[in-house]
């Protein structure tokens, strides 16, 4: 194995999972956190806790940042930006596409090689076959560090534009929260009419959603698409919710879908 010296900035639940997985893969890991006192078990497993951010950066060939938000990344890196000159930074902090592009511009002025990332996994999944991480930025840089990043999760490059990893990350999360909104509305509707929510979830909703999920991503068949019929069905769902006294804010996903169906039928 090609052992690398890697620094992880940030020891929240995700940062700790990243550092732990890198240690397990045999890399030399240096850790740093803005608030000290979170590194005990990682140190016991071989990680080195840097006394300063500057030392954490200087110690390693590759630095991973996994902080709270874009503002915390800027605030953290600004005093030590000179130490990053000529080095590689991979930012795995959640943010917007605009923020990633602006960060890339700032780092480029300071001659920092930079990849933006979007983690498509929860902390316990890091290092498993289910996890993958989106990356955007120079393809040659991605190709160079991908073998190291692969120990964390399947690395997936989505384009030269530094904003794309964040864009795709937010898009995927939007899809996830849309599903959560649908489940919340469905269970509220059943509960409002006195139905057995547990039985509904186990015997109806879960198997139904498993059956429908592949169809969400299938190529549409023009011969089977009937936007007017679907719009009518959505109106029925909304009126049913109103009759059951379900709060209107829980029907937001239905109203958005209704708008799209009416637009398609026009």
Q: For residues 257 and 259, give the distance between their C-alpha atoms in angstroms, rounded to a whole number.
A: 5
- % of the chain surpassing 70 pLDDT: 97
Q: For residues 80 and 59, give the distance between their C-alpha atoms in angstroms, rounded to a whole number.
A: 13
Torsion over CA: 86, 87, 93, 97 (sign): positive
Residue 1 has pLDDT above 60, yes or no: no
Tell me which fold the domain 169-265 belongs to.
Answer: 1.10.1040
Residue 145 has pLDDT above 70, yes or no: yes
* 5-161 and 169-265 in the same fold: no
- pLDDT tens digits, 39-94: 889 999 999 999 999 999 999 999 999 999 999 999 999 999 999 999 999 999 99
**Which of the four pLDDT bands, split at 50, 70 and 90, describes residue 15?**
very high
Q: 211-248 b/e with 16+ CB inside 10 Å = b?
A: eeeeeeeeeeeeeeeeeeebbeebeebbeebeeeebee
- pLDDT tens digits, 200-228: 999 999 999 999 999 888 887 666 567 88
Q: Which CATH architecture has domain 5-161?
A: 3-Layer(aba) Sandwich (3.40)
Q: For residues 207 and 217, give the distance between their C-alpha atoms in angstroms, rounded to a whole number.
A: 17
pLDDT of 92 reads 98
Considering only CA atoms, which of 54, 44, 53, 52 is closest in space to residue 23? Answer: 44
Q: Nearest-5° angle of CA 230, CA 235, CA 239?
A: 150
| Contact present, 189 and 244 (Cβ < 8 Å) | yes
What are the boundaries of each domain within the chain? 5-161, 169-265
């Amino acid at each position: 194995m090609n052992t690398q010296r890697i620094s992880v900035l940030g020891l929240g639940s995700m940062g700790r999972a990243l550092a732990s997985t890198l240690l397990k893969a045999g890399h030399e890991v240096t850790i740093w956190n803005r608030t000290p006192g979170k590194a005990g078990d990682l140190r016991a497993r071989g990680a080195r806790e840097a006394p300063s951010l500057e030392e954490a950066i200087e110690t390693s060939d590759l630095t991973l940042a996994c902080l709270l938000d874009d503002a915390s990344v800027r605030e953290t890196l600004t005093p030590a930006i000179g130490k990053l000159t000529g080095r590689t930074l991979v930012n795995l902090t959640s943010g917007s596409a605009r923020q990633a592009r602006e960060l890339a511009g700032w780092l480029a002025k300071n001659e920092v090689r930079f990849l933006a990332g979007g983690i498509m996994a929860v902390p316990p999944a890091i290092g498993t076959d289910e996890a993958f991480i989106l990356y955007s930025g120079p393809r040659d840089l991605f190709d160079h560090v991908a073998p190291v990043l692969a120990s964390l999760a399947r690395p997936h490059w989505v384009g030269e534009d530094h904003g794309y990893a964040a864009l795709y990350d937010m898009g995927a999360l939007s899809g996830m929260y849309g599903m959560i909104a649908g489940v919340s509305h469905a269970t509220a509707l059943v509960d409002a009419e006195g139905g057995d929510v547990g039985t509904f979830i186990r015997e109806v909703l879960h198997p139904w959603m498993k059956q429908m999920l592949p169809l969400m991503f299938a190529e549409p068949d023009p011969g089977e698409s009937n936007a007017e019929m679907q719009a009518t069905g959505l109106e029925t769902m909304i009126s049913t919710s109103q009759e059951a006294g379900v709060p209107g804010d829980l029907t937001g996903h239905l109203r958005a879908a209704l708008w799209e169906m009416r637009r398609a039928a026009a």
